[in-house]
Amino acid sequence: MTVNTTASRRRFLFLSGLGLIAGCSTTSVLTPTPGVEDHTAAALLIVNKLREAKGLPALSSNGPARKAAAVQAIRMAKADQMKHLIGLGDDFASRMKRSDVSLPAAENIATGQSSVEAAVQAWIDSPKHLHNMLGGFSGLGVAVAKAKDGRPYWAMVLSG
């Protein structure tokens, strides 16, 4: 092997390594996902107003919770089913872990509402969902995805 060949291989390996490092990034959590809309900002306004009225601290937008909400909304839309668990072997804790959501966490789901305001109101009107929104969480993510027939599937993830 000549010196030039060795130098070329080292340069290739070095540049290849940089490509791998550059490709490892957590910014994809905040990158828009095709087929899903993030409604976290609008939901935060409603939920935080509710929490303030109860003397609770405000929630903030949370990247992993936003990602987990988007994933769940897409899963439900693809299955055309409003369910927390879809398919064999599905479990909440593993889904949250895959999205890097801090535990404890909770998830509210809904379908059919035409706006984030209507979805959040449906959760407020449900004692169990309201309990989640008033719980000891700090982060929030809300997303909607539509099934082939246009039916919206909403997911809210609250994180620790």
According to the model, what pLDDT value does residue 33 have? Answer: 61
CA dist 6 → 9, 13, 16 (Å): 5, 11, 15
Contacting residues for 98 by C-beta, under 8 A, at least 6 apart: 71
Alpha helices (H) in 57-152, listed in sequence order: 63-79, 92-98, 116-124, 127-133
Pairing of strands 139-146, 105-111: unpaired
pLDDT of residue 34: 63
State how far the Cα of 56 lies from the Cα of 140, in Å rounded to an integer: 14
pLDDT band of 72, cuts 50, 70, 90 = very high
CA 77 centroid distance within chain: 14
Q: Is 54 helix (H, G, I), strand (E, B) or coil?
A: coil
Q: In this predicted structure, what is the pLDDT of residue 100?
A: 94
Average pLDDT over residues 116-136: 97
Query: What pLDDT score was predicted for residue 112?
Result: 95
Average pLDDT in the chain? 83
* Segment 22-54, tens digit of pLDDT: 232 233 344 456 689 999 999 999 999 999 999
User: In whole angstroms, how far apart are CA 51 and each of 41, 48, 101, 109?
Assistant: 15, 5, 21, 19
Question: Which pLDDT does position 105 carry in this prediction?
Answer: 96
pTM metric for this prediction: 0.77
Query: Which residues contact residue 4 at a Cβ distance below 8 angstroms, ignoring those fewer than 6 apart?
Result: none
pLDDT in the model for residue 27: 33
